[in-house]
Amino acid sequence: MRRAANVLRIVALGALLAFLLTPQSFARLFAPFTEYGAPPIYDQGNLLTLALAQLGTVLLAAAASSLVAVGLGILVTRPSGAEFLPLSRTLVNIGQTFPPVAVLAVAVPLVGFGLKPTLIALFAYGLLPIFENTMVGLKTVPAAVLEAASGMGMSARQRLLSVELPLAMPLILEGIRLSLVISVGTATIGSTVAAKGLGEVIIAGLLSNNTAFILQGGLVTGLMAVLLYDALAGLERRLCARAHIE
Amino acid sequence: MITIENLTKRYGATAVVDGVSMEIAGNSLTVIVGTSGSGKSTLLRMVNRLVEPSSGRVLIDGHDTRDEPAHLLRRRIGYAIQGHGLFPHRTVAENIATVPRLLGWDAGRIRARVEELLRAFQLDPAVYAGQLPHQLSGGQQQRVGVARALAVEPALLLMDEPFGALDPIIRAKAQEDLLEVRRRFGTTIVLVTHDMDEAFRLGDRVAVMSEGRVLQYDRPAVLLTRPADPFVSRMTGIAGRALRLLTLISAGEAAIPGAGDGPEVVASATLHDVLSELVWRGVDSVRVVDADGTPRGRLTVAAILARGRP
């Protein structure tokens, strides 16, 4: 079973890299999806550069979301911060339910076009899974463990860093992984405000009725998301095993 | 060693602990016993300030416990709870090393102490030091929990129903181990339980709590022979009180000097157990010997029964 999964991984990664590095070699594959002799492979920009740019945007936004969401999650599970829970929840929920495209529309007049509004939209959209998971992770630390930690003389800070966060880590990492992977797909909207990414391949395809372009943009994004999800799962497993956390 | 002065804890209008005052002597084992909701756990947790009192104070060796930050106070007091609370993501050795690390001991000293404690609790360091809590049996986890509480050889050990989750056989062994710990290290122990048998087995003095108040605080025998309150006699049990009194006296204490006949019993056995053995065998007398076989005297059914009266 594991061998089959590894083979699939290698094949998927291989296919993705092959396409990004030598896109024209796939021309014949995409040709049936074009009409009237339109170019089968996106030629208005380097696909590899676009893919990396999108990945970069996603990672940057995810780093910011993680920092803020985990921080908020820790805050609202402290006795002094418990009263901020409803407010935090509301803000984070708004970030999720407010369509990213709408966030873009609001952010552009404020910060201009390109990377900045895209980061804002992805940041807001990515908060919810991380926040909720952090909260649940911290709340489900066994009471006896917390009691013992306090009873032995750990300060609140030591308890948080040595006991609560390590034990909540699997759930927090899970939340970050989820948020990151959803972001990969969402990041395509950045192209509507001139951010560099695979969205422009899809949009070019929509504008010129070129299904091949749409497929390329979608498939590369999808493959990136799946491979990232898989890689992060493996990393998570290894990190947790090393720290003796299930 | 510990002076509890008029300690009260209120949640809203209810006083969960109501004006409790007690003196606990050094090198003693005090058991606080009561039903659920009697306030016994809250009282215990006010000693190490896991719960802050609404009024009153606790003095340990003459120092008010409020004179220093709570978490520093707790590093000098051992604390063992039901469900042990072992850190699931740390090995046995790392768990035991928790307070030494907080106090900044060097690695060599910590390692030596961990090994010493594991051996004292019959856990081979080579096998168990690197294991994770979930790999241990319930009894082993409980022992590691107590070892962890004793890591820095605290003068005071607080225990909140530490044996509650153990099956009867392991429980008895754990209680024996605790008495051994007390003998070896001279630690002052305060233990909370709802189990009267345990209180009588372990306690030099027993405090019976109900509804936030200590009804009686005295040696177990006095609780039986001179109960201060009907609740106390209900808790110690009226039906079996004579037999319970016999659990407090050892064969060695009650032995009549002289040669005897009949089966041998060890001097450390309680009169309760000796009587049981006499009934079982249908004999009238036994010979009392020390653990190494030295004769201590004899006992008869009549002599034992006489001891069962106040």
* The pLDDT value given to residue B239: 86
The residue-averaged pLDDT of B53-70 equals 93
DSSP A196: S
Lowest mean pLDDT among A97-111, A180-194, B202-216, B250-264: B250-264
A72 near B CB under 8 A: no
B84–A144 C-beta distance less than 8 A:
yes
Whole-complex ipTM: 0.85
Q: Which residues contact B38 (CB under 8 A, 6 or more apart)?
A: B209, B210, B211, B212
Confidence category of residue B120, pLDDT binned at 50, 70, 90: confident
Rounded Cα gap, residues B134 and B136, in angstroms: 5
pLDDT digits (tens, 9 = 90+) for B151-171: 999 999 999 999 888 888 888
Long-range contact set of residues B177-185: C-beta below 8 Å, sequence gap at least 24: B177/B121, B177/B143, B177/B146, B178/B29, B178/B146, B178/B202, B179/B29, B181/B120, B181/B146, B181/B150, B182/B27, B182/B29, B184/B120, B185/B150, B185/B153
Of B75, B89, B132, the CB nearest to A153: B75
How much is the pLDDT for A246? Answer: 58
For the cut 80, the answer to whether the pLDDT of residue B37 exceeds it is yes
CB of A241 within 8 Å of a chain B CB? The answer is no
* DSSP symbols for A20-61: HHSGGGGHHHHGGG--TT--SS--SS-HHHHHHHHHHHHHHH
Q: Mean pLDDT over residues A9-29, rounded?
A: 88
CB nearest to B79's CB, from A152, A158, A246: A152
- Beta strand B77-81 pairing with B156-160: parallel
What's the pTM value of the predicted model, to 2 decimals?
Answer: 0.85
Q: Which residues of B touch A242 (CB under 8 A)?
A: none
Residue B87 banded pLDDT, cuts 50, 70, 90? very high
pLDDT for the residue numbered A43: 83
Look at A244 and B99 and tell me if their CB atoms are within 8 Å. no
Q: What would the pLDDT profile of A105-131 be if each residue is shown by its tens digit?
A: 999 999 999 899 999 999 999 999 999
Question: CA A215 → CA A16, A44, A206, A209, A222, distances in Å?
Answer: 13, 16, 10, 12, 10
Pairwise CB contact (< 8 Å): B71 & A151: no
- A223 contacts: CB under 8 Å, gap ≥ 6: A12, A15, A16
Q: Are the beta carbons of A149 and B84 separated by less than 8 Å?
A: no
B2-239 CATH: 3.40.50.300
How do B55-60 and B29-34 pair as beta strands?
Answer: unpaired
Residue A117, pLDDT score: 93
Residues of chain B above pLDDT 90, percent: 61
- Ranking A112-126, A176-190, B99-113, B250-264 by mean pLDDT, the lowest is B250-264
Q: What is the 3-state secondary structure (H, E, C) of chain B?
A: CEEEEEEEEEECCEEEEEEEEEEECCCCEEEEEECCCCCHHHHHHHHCCCCCCCEEEEEECCEEHHHCCHHHHHCCEEEEECCCCCCCCCCHHHHHCHHHHHCCCCHHHHHHHHHHHHHHCCCCHHHHCCCCHHHCCHHHHHHHHHHHHCCCCCCEEEEECCCCCCCHHHHHHHHHHHHHHHHHHCCEEEEEECCHHHHHHHCCEEEEEECCEEEEEECHHHHHHCCCCHHHHHHHCCCCHHHHHHCCCEHHHHCECCCCCCCEEECCCEHHHHHHHHHHHCCCEEEEECCCCCEEEEEEHHHHHHHCCC
The tokens 């208005």 sit on which residue? Answer: A44
Pick the CATH number of B244-307 from 3.20.20.140, 3.40.50.720, 3.30.300.20, 3.90.1280.20: 3.90.1280.20
Q: Where are the domains of chain B?
A: 2-239, 244-307
Instruction: Report the mean per-residue pLDDT for chain B.
Output: 91
Q: Inter-chain contact B87–A145, Cβ cutoff 8 Å? A: yes
- Mutation site, B47, B86, B96, B98, interface A, largest A CB count within 10 A: B98
| pLDDT tens track for A59-102 | 999 999 999 999 999 999 998 888 999 999 999 999 889 898 89
C-alpha to C-alpha distance for B83 and B161, rounded to whole angstroms: 9
Check if B2-239 and B244-307 are the same fold: no
Long-range contacts of range B173-180, CB-CB < 8 Å, 24 or more positions apart? B173/B139, B174/B139, B174/B142, B174/B143, B174/B146, B175/B201, B175/B202, B177/B121, B177/B143, B177/B146, B178/B29, B178/B146, B178/B202, B179/B29
Closest C-alpha among B236, B153, B233 to residue B201 = B236
CA distance B206 to B183: 18
Summarised one tens digit per residue, pLDDT across range B39-58 is: 999 999 999 999 999 999 99
| Per-residue model confidence (pLDDT) at position B147 | 93
At B210 the pLDDT is 92
Tell me how far the alpha carbon of residue A124 is from its chain's centroid: 12
pLDDT category of residue B82 using cuts at 50, 70 and 90: confident
Search chain A and give the residue with CA nearest B152.
A152
Mean pLDDT of all residues in B115-124: 91
CA distance A107 to A117: 5
| Residues of A in Cβ contact (< 8 Å) with B73 | 153
Largest distance between two CA atoms of chain A: 76
Using one digit for the tens of pLDDT, what is the confidence trace for A162-190? Answer: 999 999 999 999 999 999 999 999 999 99
* The pLDDT value given to residue B54: 94
Average pLDDT over residues B127-155: 92
Alpha carbons within 13 A on the beta-carbon side of B180: 13
State the CB neighbour count (10 A cutoff) for residue A63: 14
Distances (CA, A) of A41 to A30, A63, A208, A222, B124: 7, 33, 13, 17, 68
H helix intervals, A77-164: 85-97, 100-111, 115-139, 143-151, 156-159
From B79, B90, B132, residue closest to A151, measured CB to CB: B79
Question: Nearest-CA neighbor of B58 among B69, B70, B49?
Answer: B49
